[in-house]
Amino acid sequence: MTLALDPAVQELAGLVHAGRVVVLSGAGLSTESGIPDYRGPSGALRRHAPMTYQAFVGSPEARRRYWARSYLGWAQIAGARPNAGHVAVAQLQERGRLDGIITQNVDGLHQAAGARDVIELHGGLDAVVCLECGDREGRAPLGERLAAINDAFVAEVRRVNPDGDADVPDEQLDGFRLAGCRGCGSELLKPDVVFFGENVPRPRVDNCFALVESAACLLVLGSSLTVLSGFRFVRRAAALDVPVAIVNQGPTRGDELAALKVDAPLGEVLPALVR
């Protein structure tokens, strides 16, 4: 049976065609762009624990190592291109079926596919903020400044995580030099993403709740919903009897709350929905 004739996909097509859909996407949407998931079929678990906000702010050494790994991982994130799933989401938005797009991803691939007004729940890797003076700089120009002072730095990248953090043995990070803020010189530069141990800014959360509360359907794409920051929107939708549809490979924390579950590759399901 072809995917388009699958009863669950047909039911999903009916929901999406009716419109007022809010998308909540996760790392599984970007795996077909070559960005590994944390837990999905293509991703073994990362080798080191993710950076926490407290460690990042509290330790210059932790910060230097983070930036060394991020410097190495950036090429893969910056070089990733949107896949058929991202393109399909942008097309559904273009056709007026979507009321909003919320993403847990920090890779910018929804926008690269042409989607508008994307809410990046956990921020985006394309910008860097100085925690000292508030200056914002693009990730690309900072990358050039880092390259200029690290031309002798080499390391062996084992894998790159979806947050752009590369798995590299600590001892290979020793020679890396961190650049300072272009405004005040401080080395308290942080990617504009929400770290573990840090809260999503309240206005951003409220904005997402408002979208979910007025939606006709919450469509979860490629997320196991392990992290509460995304799962709470599924809970809210279910509590308000807004139907939740989930397209994900493998089980998710929201399965029991979902009206509909499709376990198939997003790069196949989403283009079928557009057709």
Distances (CA, A) of 131 to 106, 137, 187, 225, 247: 19, 12, 9, 30, 37
Q: Which of residues 112-151 bind Zn ion (CB under 5 A)?
A: 130, 132-133, 135
Among 183, 197, 201, 250, binds Zn ion (CB under 5 A): 183
Whether the Cβ atoms of residue 194 and residue 123 lie closer than 8 Å to each other: yes
Nearer to Zn ion, 17 or 145 (CB): 145
Distance CA 210, CA 207 (A): 5
Among 147, 184, 239, 240, binds Zn ion (CB under 5 A): 184
Among 72, 90, 125, 181, binds Zn ion (CB under 5 A): 181
The CB-of-153 to Zn ion minimum distance in angstroms stands at: 23
239 contact partners, CB below 8 Å, separation of at least 6: none
Q: Go through 213-245 and write b for each residue having 16 or more CB atoms within 10 A of its CB, e for each that does not.
A: eebebbbbbbbbbebeebbbbbbbbbeeebbbb
Nearer to Zn ion, 189 or 220 (CB): 189
CA–CA–CA angle 159, 165, 167 (5° rounding): 40
The CB-of-188 to Zn ion minimum distance in angstroms stands at: 7
The stretch near Zn ion (CB under 5 A) out of 14-22, 36-44, 176-184, 239-247 is: 176-184
The CB-of-66 to Zn ion minimum distance in angstroms stands at: 17
Handedness of CA 203, 217, 163, 47 (dihedral sign): positive
Nearer to Zn ion, 181 or 269 (CB): 181
The CB-of-70 to Zn ion minimum distance in angstroms stands at: 18
The CB-of-183 to Zn ion minimum distance in angstroms stands at: 4
Active-site residue set = 122
Among 186, 199, 214, 226, binds Zn ion (CB under 5 A): 186
The CB-of-182 to Zn ion minimum distance in angstroms stands at: 8
Nearer to Zn ion, 141 or 169 (CB): 141
Size of the site for Zn ion (CB under 5 A): 8
Q: H helices of 97-248, where?
A: 109-112, 139-149, 202-213, 228-239
Nearer to Zn ion, 181 or 220 (CB): 181
190 contact partners, CB below 8 Å, separation of at least 6: 56, 128, 129, 130, 131
Nearer to Zn ion, 134 or 251 (CB): 134
* Strand ranges, E, within the chain: 21-25, 98-103, 118-120, 123-130, 136-138, 159-160, 166-167, 189-193, 217-221, 244-247, 260-262
Give the count of beta carbons closer than 10 Å to the beta carbon of residue 133.
13
The stretch near Zn ion (CB under 5 A) out of 43-51, 61-69, 161-169, 185-193 is: 185-193
Binding site for Zn ion (CB under 5 A): 130, 132-133, 135, 181, 183-184, 186
